[in-house]
Amino acid sequence: MRKRSAVASLIVIALAAATIGPVHAEESAVVLKDAPGRDTVQANCLACHSADYIVMNSPFLDGKGWRASVTKMINVMGAPITAADAEEIIRYLTANYGVTPRP
């Protein structure tokens, strides 16, 4: 009898868990700033990583840093980004998420 009670309890727990579904934190997705080049960034960069990566690195990267990051994505990570798109991405990131270099 005790064994049946344990099995029944497990079934009830499993059914309850299945009907509740996954639990998600109350986080909002990062939305990139609306500016020229955003579509190119979304089409190229967000194919491999989230926009969180851009925002997370924005306090540290200036134009040179973003250029190095985009170049790394192409040469090391194999991102299929054209030269024209790379320049547009770098301009967008520098203008909207770049730090001003210190003199």
Q: Which fold, 38-97?
A: Cytochrome Bc1 Complex; Chain D, domain 2 (1.10.760)
- Domain positions in the chain are 38-97
How far apart are the C-alpha atoms of 7 and 11, rounded to whole Å? 6
Q: Please indicate whether residue 30 or residue 73 has the higher confidence score (pLDDT).
A: 73
Percent of the chain whose pLDDT exceeds 90: 66
Q: Is the pLDDT of residue 78 over 90?
A: yes
pLDDT of residue 9 exceeding 70: no
Question: Could you give the angle at which helices 63-75 and 83-97 cross, rounded to 10 degrees?
Answer: 140
State residue 80's pLDDT score.
96
Q: What does the pLDDT look like over 28-43, one tens digit per residue?
A: 688 999 999 999 999 9
Q: Count the Cβ atoms, other than its own, within 10 Å of residue 41.
A: 23
- By CB atoms closer than 10 A (0-12, 13-18, 19+), residue 72 is exposed
Res 16 pLDDT > 60: no
Query: How confident is the model over 43-62, as a mean pLDDT?
Result: 93
